[in-house]
Structures are given as structure tokens and as C-alpha cells.
Structure 1
Amino acid sequence: MVYNKPNPDDRSDNVEKLQDIVQNTLENMEEAEETMQFADREERERIRAKNHRREESIHALRQEIKDEAHDRENGYRNEG
């Protein structure tokens, strides 16, 4: 029988991954804004709502980036 060992928690590049996610989300927001000029009223409202959710996600991601950067500076001490 094969037992799968969980991968070690490698957080060394979390900040960079999160920054990439933020950048991609910002680009998606810009693209959505550009498509609004061709959308009907209902579709524009959907785009606005989705971009609002994206803004909320970006805010949370930026907080997570700060937390990860702080943890990185402090050596990722385990508090488990």
C-alpha cells in the first residue's frame, strides 16, 4: 500500500504568486471596462458587479501579500 506524504509547506514564493494574481485581476478589470462600451445596460451592470467583486478580492490579496511578506521576514515560524 502506498501512503502519500503531504508536500512540505513551501511558502517561499507566495508573495510573488499573490502579486501575479493581483496583476492578472487588474488586467481582467481593464479588459472588462473596455468591453462595457459594446455591452447593453444589463451586461454593463454585470461587469460593474464583477469588477466590484474583483476590487474586494484585490484588497484581500494585498493584505495577504503584506502578511506573507511579514512572515517571510520573520522566518515563517510555525504557530501550529
Structure 2
Amino acid sequence: MANQTPKPDDRSDNVEKLQSMIHHTIENMEDAEAAMVNSSPEDQQRIKDKNERRRESIDAFRSEIKDEAHRQQ
């Protein structure tokens, strides 16, 4: 096997990536809420449940952004 070395850990753009993920997650939530108008009650509940998980993900992303900001200082 060839000598394989791992790539160095580059965290320089993590905050930007996390902010982008937050933005896309919010867009997905808005799209899902718009789709609820024409959805069955079961689908509406699934959308509500998924959007709740998305909110939890957004909170986790924001927490990671704070951690990254402290690491960069």
C-alpha cells in the first residue's frame, strides 16, 4: 500500500458552512410548511414532527458556531 497520510484538519470555514446549513434548513422548513396546506392530516403531523427536529438541528448548529468562534480566538 502507498503511504497514506490524513489531510490536516482545516476548520477555517466551519462557521460559514454551519451558517449555510442553517439557511438551507430554514428554507426547507418554510417549504414544508407551505406544502402542509394541501396535505393530509397524517402528512401534516409528519411535517410538524420533522420541522421540530429541524429546529433542534438549528439549535445544535448555532451551538457549534459559538464553539467555533471560541476556538478561533
- In the superposition, the TM-score normalised over structure 2's length comes to 0.97
How many residues of Structure 1 are paired with residues of Structure 2 in the alignment?
Answer: 73
Partner of 1:57: 57
Partner of 2:12: 12
Q: Which amino acid aligns with 1:63?
A: S
In structure 1, C-alpha distance between the alignment counterparts of 2:56 and 2:11, rounded to whole Å: 23
SS in 2 for 1:10: coil
- % identical equivalent positions: 56
Q: Which structure 1 segments of 5+ residues have no match?
A: 74-80
Looking at secondary structure, tell me which structure has more helix per residue: 2
Partner of 1:71: 71
In structure 1, C-alpha distance between the alignment counterparts of 2:64 and 2:38, rounded to whole Å: 35
CA offsets 1:31-63 (integer angstroms, 9 cap, x no match): 000000010100000000000000000001100
In structure 2, C-alpha distance between the alignment counterparts of 1:13 and 1:34, rounded to whole Å: 32
Partner of 1:2: 2
Q: Which amino acid aligns with 2:59?
A: H
Q: Which structure 2 segments of 5+ residues have no match?
A: none
After the TM superposition, list the runs of 4 or more consecutive aligned residues in structure 1 that deviate by more than 6 angstroms. Answer: none
Q: What is the RMSD computed on CA atoms of the aligned residues?
A: 0.6
Partner of 2:21: 21
